[in-house]
Amino acid sequence: MKWLLRAAVAAAIVGALWGLSYVLHEHVIEYVVRIAMLCGMNIILAVGLNLINGTTGQFSIGHAGFMAVGAYTTAYVCTQLAPEVAGVLGTGFLPDAVVFNVGLIAGAALAAATGVVVGVPSLRLKGDYLAIVTLGFGEIIRLLLTNAEFLGGATGFSGDNPTGLSPYTNVFWVFLWVVIVIVVIRNVTFSQTGRSLEAISEDEIAAEAMGTPTTRLKVVAFTLSAAAAGIAGGLFAHLQGSVRPDDFKFDRSIDMIVMIIVGGLGSITGAVIGGIFVGVTLELMRDLSEYRLVLYSLLLVIIMLVRPQGVLGKRELSFSRLFPKKAAKPARAAGDEKP
Amino acid sequence: MSIIRLERVEKIFGGLRAIGGVSFEVAPKQIFGLIGPNGAGKTTIFNVVTGVYQPDGGKVVFDGTDISGWSPARVAARGIARTFQNIRLFRAMTVRENVIVAGHKIHRANMLDAVLRNGRFDADERAFTDKADELLEIMGLRELADEEASSLPYGSQRRLEIARALMLEPKVLLLDEPAAGMNSSEADKLEDQIRFLRDELSLTIVLVEHNMSVVMSVCERIHVVDHGETIAEGPPSVVKADPKVLAAYLGEETPEAAIADLRAVHAAATSSPESSS
């Protein structure tokens, strides 16, 4: 019964997204639709980054690197895979969907694997080592890509087609992945894993004394967060039509940090708000080009002075706060069920 | 047969011998006191036993296994739980969540179960809540289960640390100054709770405490350390009359502390000549 209900909800969400996608792409100017899609990617990035920076309290400042890994992997896999799949399934929606999602999952997987490689040595230590290591990692990835000839070097990678990468990215896929990422990360956050991650961020020594496998959980959180960045990267690649190393400079990592700090470190809904905020303001400040960094810095200073916990702090904005449900606060709801 | 045995355990910080070859044995279901003046090395002994520090010599044997050098998480999983002298709660989490974090013995669902929110996850959450509430009931914190841990008064925070440690379902509980910051009625209640844990949950309890009336009334055996060395061991009646113990307490740097400690020892000696009922 529970699963039937869930299937129905899932179907309804897919249907709604399909409808939304159709309406936006057909009846709204492309510029606005594009901003909406960029906001969606920001949400994925912010919700993912929040798991490690907010919930676990381990600061990563090189997440653009994972986004780059995801973007290049997705672009490369899709380019290689498209002719093969076209040979079997022909052309149309289905083969495109298969190619794109396989590409996205491959991007997420490679970003996650990179996350393990970066995370294991730096997360074994207590302290801010992750920040230093990820800062270096982001730059290393960018320089590697700049020098990788088979990926186009500094001019970037745009597949074999003169028109660039196939424009797979649309509102439907972006927001379907937004929903998937939010649901997965929310369910992890509100579980024993999430409680343990929060415990690590509160007091690592106490968490360890209570039997929490701290290193393993930190790596898990970091890996999940890298995978989310990888998906956002893949979506971004097929929206742009090409990927260049310069798309993943340090400012992009800073943008992500602004998103989660604005929304409130440790809050998923806060990350969503922050993602949309940065997506919209980036567009509004487009004419200011480099000066936007000054404005962001100013904004960060103001937030730190006025509301250091961000818009929502650690709290979540949720329906379950208004209508208590079992899933949102399992620990409490389960207690109420006792006879 | 002892459940915890320290064999000539040493810990050196730079040039300082924090513990210099301390040995003692704790019998199963015993309430064992570890006392000594400030800086004697009591907390360091706890930290060596629980794996926070690696010993520089000697070994720690728990239930027949040499656990010296194990990681804190491994020691905890094996059955030694502890509380902290300088309360280390997860301050922004609720009282119940604090306890649930230590629920590894109950935890069955993996991360995929959590993502899918399947039956195994629901069963886990129910078991977590039931067990946590049961432990909070024992420690008298059931009504505060949904409060934020940092909002609790000091004494309740100490009891919450005990409840959290119990969630590990340990065999041995190390309590680091559990009565610190408690008033005398809270301390009396704590004594009952400690006895309850031993009697009803069959726990072995090792206690570091400066509140002498608590130590003398609740402990069955007391080990006294000073400057990292053992100076006495025995039942409370013997230890409190030991001249070396009195000298250690009198020989403190600040006369006020020495007098206060002496008064406490004296008061305990006159008020309860025999510890166990």
Task: Enter the ipTM.
Answer: 0.85
Residue ranges per structural domain of chain A:
2-331
- Please give the tally of structural domains in chain B: 2
pLDDT at A322: 54
Does one domain contain both B174 and B164?
no
**Top-level CATH class of A2-331?**
mainly alpha
Least confident of A122-126, A224-228, A272-276, B100-104: A122-126
Q: In chain A, what residues touch B136 (CB-CB under 8 Å)? A: none
For residues A235 and A240, give the distance between their C-alpha atoms in angstroms, rounded to a whole number: 9
Q: Are B191 and B268 in contact, with CB atoms under 8 Å apart?
A: no
Q: In chain B, what residues touch A203 (CB-CB under 8 Å)? A: 88-91
> For A256-284, how does the pLDDT look when each residue is reduced to its tens digit (9 = 90+)?
999 999 988 889 999 999 999 999 988 88
Q: In chain A, what residues touch B50 (CB-CB under 8 Å)? A: 209
Least confident of A221-230, A234-243, A297-306: A297-306
* Predicted confidence band of residue A331 (pLDDT cuts 50, 70, 90): very low
Q: Is A286 on the interface with B (CB under 8 A)?
A: no
In 3-state terms, chain A is what percent helix, strand and coil (to 5)? 80, 0, 20
B86 occurs within a structural domain: no
Does one domain contain both B46 and B182?
yes
Shortest CA distance to B187 belongs to which of B143, B164, B227, B154?
A: B154
Q: How far is B182 from chain A (nearest CA, A)?
A: 22
The gap from C-alpha A272 to its chain's centroid, in whole angstroms, comes to: 10
A195, A211, A334 member nearest B77 (Cβ): A211
Does one domain contain both B3 and B64?
yes
| Greatest mean pLDDT range, A98-112, A239-253, A312-326, B232-246 | A98-112
A187, A188, A211 member nearest B168 (Cβ): A211
Nearest chain A residue to B134, by CA: A335
- Domain endpoint, select from B112, B142, B168: B168
Given an 8 Å threshold on Cβ–Cβ distance, is B73 in contact with A211? yes
In 3-state terms, chain B is what percent helix, strand and coil (to 5)? 45, 20, 35
Does one domain contain both B98 and B63?
no
Structure token pair of residue B164: 């959290």
Burial B130-150 (b: 16+ CB within 10 A, else e): ebbbebbebbbbbebbeebbe
For residue B34, what is the domain's CATH number?
A: 3.40.50.300
Least confident of A44-53, A99-108, A305-314, B39-48: A305-314
pLDDT at A248: 95
Across the range A119-132, mean pLDDT stands at 87
In the predicted model, residues of chain B with pLDDT beneath 50 are: 274-277
| Domain extent for B163 | 91-168
Q: Is A336 on the interface with B (CB under 8 A)?
A: no
For residues A25 and B221, give the distance between their C-alpha atoms in angstroms, rounded to a whole number: 79
B96, B109, B167 member nearest A331 (Cβ): B96
Shortest CA distance to B204 belongs to which of B5, B27, B63, B62?
A: B27
pLDDT at A337: 34
The gap from C-alpha B83 to its chain's centroid, in whole angstroms, comes to: 5
Other beta carbons less than 10 A from residue B259's beta carbon = 13
Cβ-Cβ contacts under 8 Å between A and B: the total is 114
Shortest CA distance to A316 belongs to which of A263, A276, A280?
A: A263
Pairing of strands B57-62, B229-234: unpaired
- Checking if the pLDDT of A78 tops 90, the result is yes
Does one domain contain both B121 and B154?
yes
pLDDT at B258: 65
pLDDT at A303: 86
For residues A313 and A47, give the distance between their C-alpha atoms in angstroms, rounded to a whole number: 14
Q: In chain A, what residues touch B130 (CB-CB under 8 Å)? A: 334-335, 338
B266 occurs within a structural domain: no
Does one domain contain both B155 and B204?
no
pLDDT at A332: 39
For residues B188 and B213, give the distance between their C-alpha atoms in angstroms, rounded to a whole number: 9
A198, A209, A332 member nearest B146 (Cβ): A332
Does one domain contain both B65 and B193?
yes
Q: Are B204 and B171 in contact, with CB atoms under 8 Å apart?
A: yes
pLDDT, averaged across chain A: 89
B-interface mutation test, from A55, A210, A223, most B Cβ less than 10 A away: A210
Q: In chain A, what residues touch B133 (CB-CB under 8 Å)? A: 335
Nearest chain B residue to A190, by CA: B114
Q: Determine the 3-state secondary structure of A225 from DSSP.
A: helix
Structure token pair of residue B59: 């070994």
Structure token pair of residue A14: 């897919």
For residues B6 and B126, give the distance between their C-alpha atoms in angstroms, rounded to a whole number: 39
Q: Which residues, in sequence order, are CB contacts of A233 under 8 Å at separation 6+?
A: A66, A67, A68, A69, A70, A71, A72, A73, A74, A107, A111, A243, A248
Q: Give chain B's length.
A: 277
- Checking if the pLDDT of A335 tops 70, the result is no
Other beta carbons less than 10 A from residue A52's beta carbon = 31
Given an 8 Å threshold on Cβ–Cβ distance, is B92 in contact with A198? yes
- Checking if the pLDDT of A326 tops 60, the result is no
Does one domain contain both B40 and B17?
yes
Residue B173, strand partner residues: B81, B205
Given an 8 Å threshold on Cβ–Cβ distance, is A188 in contact with B73? no
Does one domain contain both B71 and B182?
yes
Q: In chain B, what residues touch A334 (CB-CB under 8 Å)? A: 122, 125-126, 128-130
DSSP assignment letter at B36? -
pLDDT at A80: 93
Given an 8 Å threshold on Cβ–Cβ distance, is A327 in contact with B117? yes
Structure token pair of residue B193: 């709770």
Across the range A98-110, mean pLDDT stands at 97
Does one domain contain both B163 and B176?
no
Does one domain contain both B211 and B226?
yes
Does one domain contain both B148 and B21?
no
Q: Are B212 and B33 in contact, with CB atoms under 8 Å apart?
A: no
B52, B71, B100 member nearest A195 (Cβ): B100
